[in-house]
A and B are shown apart, each in its own frame.
Chain A
Amino acid sequence: MNNILLLEDLPEIRTWLKSLVLQVFPNARITECSRVQDALLQVQSVRFDLALCDLGLPDGSGTDVVAKLRDVQPDAQSVVVTIHDDDEHLFPALQAGAYGYILKEQSRELITEQLQRISQGEPPLSPSIARKVIKYFASQNLPQANAMPEVSLTDRESEVLLRVAKGFTLPEIGVQLGLSRHTIADYVKQIYRKLNVSSRAEAALEAQRLGLFRR
């Protein structure tokens, strides 16, 4: 993790986050932004490994930056850093391509641990987010869903989601399914990825439909 984008409008919090990130990744070069427009410009020119994005910003939503990064730098990992813990705020960011989220008011220790996990490919997944993902894929009615394994969940992934929704922790699920911690983490990563892909496919289809109508 060399190049890190830090999008946060409150200076104190930005400073605090920066120190925290430097603690986890001592050699990182951090680009600080306090506005969505600045961040979007940076994303165009600088190559990032990790982006920490706040959601509620004075000139827009961090979700836009997450989506843009997803488009132009698919390998970069976006993490939402927010004060909102409800899925209504988080889910759009996850659909846009974020790999997990960190709640800002948590203790320094907890956040550093979560950051490490995320960077190691173990994104967090709360029961309410899991339920939302399940609902999303259940209502997903893409015609090419069967033809595209990319956008539909495997049985295992669904199984993991269901258990998370019921309140089981990822290590518990690993034990229940007889899988290693890394495998479970991979499933979660896949779920995030498919959520993003499926959302994009849906958006494209919607645009096509609108285009057809417009014509």
Chain B
Amino acid sequence: MPMPPPPRTPLLVRLARWLLGPLCWCMVGLVTPAGATPAPTVQVLTQALAAAEVGGRPPAWAGAAPVTLPDDWADRRPDHGGVMWYRLALSWPGDGGPAPALYGLYVERACSVLQVRLNGHLVHDGGRFDEPVSRNCHRPQLVALPAALMQAGDNRLDLRIRGYARAEVSSRQRAGGLSVIEVGAYDTLAAHHARRSVFAVRLPEVLSGALVLMGSFMFVMGWFHREQSYLAYFGALMLGWSLLLARLWASDLPVPNHVTELALAALMSFITLAAVQFLMRYAGRRLRWLDFALPAQCALMPATLLVAGEPRLYAVASIWFVVLTVQVVAAVVFYLVEARRQRSRQLWPMAALLGVVGVSLALEIAAQGWALDSRVLHVAQLLPALGFLALGLRLVQQYGRAFQTAEQHRAELEVRIREATAQIERNFAQLSELKVEQVTERERKRIAADLHDDLGAKLLTIVHTSDNERISQLAREALEEMRLSVRGLTGKPVKLLDALGDWRAEVVSRLQQSGVQGEWSAPSDEEVPQTLSSRAYVQTTRILREAVSNIIKHSGASQCSVRCTIANGDFQLVVQDNGKGIPVELDGRLDKGHGMASMKGRAKQLQGQCLVESGPGYGTVIRLTLPLERHTTAH
């Protein structure tokens, strides 16, 4: 009897095929589409006799009841747990085709462990029948039927199955049961078995591994970056899910059934914790009470399952699953509403992923109540894992991008800090410079006041109390010097125009008082925009004063002219008289006694020069040249 093709390929299956096809190719090198029609030489056995084993011996078949396969214990004998025997009649060759060298027997589902006897000979032993019982509920099994044991005509197939009552397991899929039996050429069934195994065992294995790797990675990433704690919860979710997937491929566990079932049920509470926390934190909301409530729930759920005991495991677990599902749905709704409100760009990818996961879970839940096509279930079991991997990649990518942005910001910040530091340093330098200037200014004023009050007063007393005219004259000159020094110490820059006014007033009035005819010429106002430093002003005043004093005291001149000019950035002062000139000393140099040396020294201090031309009979010319630029801005 050929196996009837499924009436309608579900959309989800096609989608899954499309998604998983390349994966199968890579992993197993299997190309045959899952829906290929099996070879016609396959018999499907649906009629059997069933009897419970008593005392470890094969049952007396006399009282056996006929059953139609698939025999789902959850439906037909929900309270039965233990060993069942099934006897099937196999008439062979069925349709008279050429006899194959090796026959095969394919069992889609035999829960939880299967032994096969052909005509009384043990041909297959699927695992341990005592606790811990092997767990092969999700594993399709292929049994080789040696041709030597086959008899022409009727053959007797005995299938021994150890299974659990529904009440003892947390999911209906792991309640005892036997699917239809297919018998045919070994090659044909082996190919069929291999295809099924890929979905039922290999892909869950691969995905478990991938989830463990990626989940650990993300958990560590989230652990060390607490502000991205959602990464850690997502990692935990992936780890939990990989454990959940392990139920599909881990068959020989060292613990008895009820411990495994309890752990699997408890795992759901952990997955719920991870999922809810991930969604809340990914939405940017952290509720403190959830941080306590969810772990408490994780502890409470196994406790209630333990208290309820083995016989009520299914009932209590079912109630818990509803509660957990409600929590996850609430978190999903919260996340979607929040993401929509924040106009998050993650809204639609996340909605799609959550939709896929939701449909898969709905199918799982549906499978608790009704027996569904195993292929639909396989897809439903694998899709969430794939979705988690995709979201994981997306999160890592986001994280990487955020990290990059943060790095960029950090670099920018560093540049800005460096700028600000430089600015502060500049300001500080300016400030301290200003401070130094202020302190210097204050100190100069203090020195000036001291000089005036102490030295000035004493010199003045000498000036006016000394009987000796020369001493009083010396004191007067010292006082004048002191005053000029103070002025050079504290004075502000002087406009050249103002300086010319001061000099003119002094020179002209002094010459007038001495009866010398004076002549003053200076550039017009527009030609002298420059300023002099107070030092230059004071020194020039001294030089001019000295020159005029010489003329009044020594030259005997009747005329004196002072010419001020500005040319090529130099300020030039020419003082000329018609006196008797400066007497030449023996060595041919001009008399130092007339203050010429100090005049020249002062000019040199200002980077200028002072030339004196003199000869008996034709008077004296003093030329003072000062570079203006150096003194225009200097303080």
Using CB atoms and an 8 Å cutoff, list the residues of chain A in contact with chain B.
10, 12-13, 16, 56, 83-86, 104-105, 107-108, 126-128, 131, 164-169, 171-172
Contacts and interface: CB of A to CB of B under 8 A. Distances in A.
Contacts, number: 67
A167 B463 contact: no
Given A127-B502, A167-B520, A86 B460 contact: no
B526 interface: no
Given A10-B457, A105-B479, A128-B498, A56 B504 contact: no
Contacts of A169: 505, 508-509, 512
Contacts of B505: 126-127, 164, 167-169
B523 interface: no
Contacts of A164: 505
16 contacts: A10-B457, A10-B461, A13-B457, A13-B460, A16-B465, A83-B457, A127-B501, A127-B504, A128-B502, A131-B498, A165-B501, A167-B502, A168-B508, A169-B508, A169-B509, A169-B512
A105 B503 contact: no
Contact of A167 (B456, B476, B500): B500
B487 A166 contact: no
A211 B471 CA distance: 56
A16 B480 CA distance: 19
Contacts of A16: 464-465
A166 B499 CA distance: 9
A83 B460 contact: yes
B483 interface: yes
B465 A12 contact: yes
Contacts of B498: 127-128, 131, 165
Contacts of B508: 167-169, 172
Contacts of A128: 498, 502
A168 B504 contact: yes
B461 A12 contact: yes
Contacts of B452: 56, 83-84
B453 interface: yes
Interface of B: 452-453, 456-457, 459-461, 463-465, 476, 479-480, 483, 487, 498, 500-505, 508-509, 512, 520
A213 B504 CA distance: 47
A129 to B, nearest CB: 11
A180 B457 CA distance: 39
A131 B501 contact: yes
Given A10-B457, A84-B452, A105-B476, A167 B464 contact: no
Nearest to A126: B505
A128 B572 CA distance: 22
A13 B501 contact: no
A167 B503 contact: yes
A169 B504 CA distance: 9
B464 A85 contact: no
A152 B394 CA distance: 85
A167 B457 contact: no
B504 A167 contact: yes
A12 B452 CA distance: 17
A169 B518 CA distance: 12
Contacts of A107: 476
Closest 10 CB pairs of A and B: A167-B504, A167-B501, A127-B501, A16-B464, A167-B505, A12-B461, A105-B479, A166-B501, A83-B456, A127-B505
Given A83-B452, A83-B479, A168-B508, 7 more contacts: A10-B457, A13-B464, A83-B483, A105-B459, A128-B498, A167-B504, A167-B505
A167 B487 CA distance: 20
Contacts of A165: 498, 501
Contacts of B504: 127, 166-168
B544 to A, nearest CB: 12
A83 B452 CA distance: 8
- Of the listed residues B464, B500, B509, the one surrounded by the most CB atoms of chain A closer than 10 A to its CB is B464
B460 A105 contact: yes
Contacts of A86: 487
Given A126-B505, A167-B500, A105 B463 contact: yes
Contacts of B456: 83
- Of the listed residues A10, A127, A171, the one surrounded by the most CB atoms of chain B closer than 10 A to its CB is A127
A23 to B, nearest CB: 13
A121 B562 CA distance: 32
Contacts of A105: 459-460, 463, 476, 479-480
A85 B505 CA distance: 14
A6 to B, nearest CB: 14
A16 B467 CA distance: 12
Contacts of B480: 105
Contacts of B509: 169
A167 B522 CA distance: 11
B633 to A, nearest CB: 21
A56 B453 CA distance: 8
Given A12-B465, A105-B476, A85 B500 contact: no
A172 B453 CA distance: 36
Contacts of B487: 86
A109 to B, nearest CB: 10
Contacts of B453: 56
